[in-house]
Amino acid sequence: MQFIDLKAQQERIRPQIDAAIKRVLDHGQYIMGPEVFELERQLAEFVGVRHAIGCSSGTDALLLGLMAYEVGPGDAVFTTPFTFFATCEVIALLGATPVFVDIDPRTFNIDPIKLGQAIERVVEEGKLKVRGIIPVDLYGLPADYDAIMPLAEKHGLFVLEDAAQAFGATYKGRKAPGLGHVGTTSFFPAKPLGCYGDGGAVFTDDDDLAEKIRSLLVHGKGPDKYNNVRIGLNARLDTIQAAILIEKLKIYPEEIELRQVAAERYSKSLCEMAGVMTPHIPDGYASVWAQYTIQCQNRDDLQFRLSKAAIPTMVYYVKPVCLLDAMSYLNNQDGSFPVAEKMARQVLSLPIFPYLAKNQQFEILAKLAGKHICCS
């Protein structure tokens, strides 16, 4: 059994993928070819925003968003400590200061009440200029944007949505990553919508910001590509990856539904299991289930039991990013973010992907429960 079975999806659409790659090889426009612009059009339509801009990775998508807002030294950007390192890495890379805010114990996303308190604290201290917020839509579930956006408006902050794990998730009728001022996603192969290498995209309704991001994407070019008007990156999305994503996007709505079925099957069987808490999905939200993550008091025992049965699991994340060695200069101490630290000790992600068979799921559930579970 695999944690994520990418081969099953590839076998389903292999002829379409092969044909898409062949078209790129035939026309030879490997950089900024027509498939890139067609994918951007389809992505924008899918999410419901004016602009989608393909780029080389989810990390570069975040970096482009911050650069578009000219974030730099002396700026404070608020984010969650319970995420992959890239979220805070891009803040630090530009010389700004990541300010971490603890998480909601039910959704694992940034706690809006604590976010408001953290913003007020930094404003009162007066050492940093408050500039922006990067909420993370963890495990495929959007953060609480109806609570976050008013805080941003009150303090004049931008909201850069990190939807690396949540492309296509819904929040009160709207789709991620179209929930902030700017949104980003990753097309890393293991993501819900993944390519066959690195890739990402930036989303916004702001015409001026989109134009600036397109410039930053290609070395800060102006209307004449040899007259650079700002310092930028080389962060373009390869045409072959765009061609692959176009084919995968065609079946993505169905795959989201299949993920929902698998998640519901897990939750129905695990909801009464002692010592296990299933994921909480608030009313009006729909996760795309990048991970199905339970909270368990005896995680090490459960993980060992599954490992003995050749069932893979993962822990996202074993340590909050605020406590990683690279962030030690911020002097965050153990106990500073108690909810995130507790979750790091208790979360366990189980295999989930659109083609996870029912009998595979019940094998996992049986090993978790330590007894036979009926495959009904």
Residue 286's DSSP bridge partners are 170
Question: Average pLDDT over the chain, rounded to whole?
Answer: 96
Question: What is the percentage of the chain residues whose pLDDT exceeds 90?
Answer: 94
Given pLDDT bands bounded at 50, 70 and 90, which one contains residue 375? very low
Region of residue 14 (left: phi > 0; alpha: psi -120 to 50; beta: else): alpha
CATH (domain of 189): 3.40.640.10
Residue of 7, 172, 191, 319 marked active site: 191
Distances (CA, A) of 75 to 127, 132, 140, 144, 201: 9, 9, 28, 24, 24
Phi, psi (degrees; rounded to nearest 5) at 242: -65, -40
β 75-79/97-100 pair status: parallel
Amino acid 371: pLDDT: 52
Q: Which domain holds residue 217?
A: 6-247
CATH (domain of 286): 3.90.1150.10
Instruction: Domain count for the chain, please give it.
Output: 2
Residues 156 and 242 in one domain: yes
| Selection from 117, 133, 85, 112 nearest residue 323 by Cα | 85
For the stretch 13-59, pLDDT in tens is 999 999 999 999 999 999 999 999 999 999 999 999 999 999 999 99
Per the annotation, the verdict on 342 as an active-site residue is no
Amino acid 370: pLDDT: 74
For the stretch 231-263, pLDDT in tens is 999 999 999 999 999 999 999 999 999 999 999
Last residue within a domain, chosen from 197, 228, 247: 247
In-domain check, residue 273: yes
Phi, psi (degrees; rounded to nearest 5) at 185: -145, 170
Mean pLDDT across the stretch 97-126?
98
pLDDT(222) > 60: yes
Residues 123 and 265 in one domain: no
Residues 273 and 155 in one domain: no
pLDDT(373) > 90: no
| Selection from 368, 344, 283 nearest residue 108 by Cα | 344
Which one-letter DSSP state was computed for residue 269? H
In-domain check, residue 376: no
d(CA 28, CA 146): 45
Give the position of tokens 């390869």: 238
Mean pLDDT across the stretch 158-172?
98
For the stretch 311-364, pLDDT in tens is 999 999 999 999 999 999 999 999 999 999 999 999 999 999 999 999 999 999
pLDDT(374) > 90: no
pTM, two decimals, is 0.96
Residues 110 and 227 in one domain: yes
251: tokens are 């079946």
Q: Are the CB atoms for 50 and 183 separated by under 8 Å?
A: no
Distances (CA, A) of 322 to 98, 115, 165, 364: 9, 15, 20, 33
pLDDT(225) > 90: no
d(CA 247, CA 302): 38
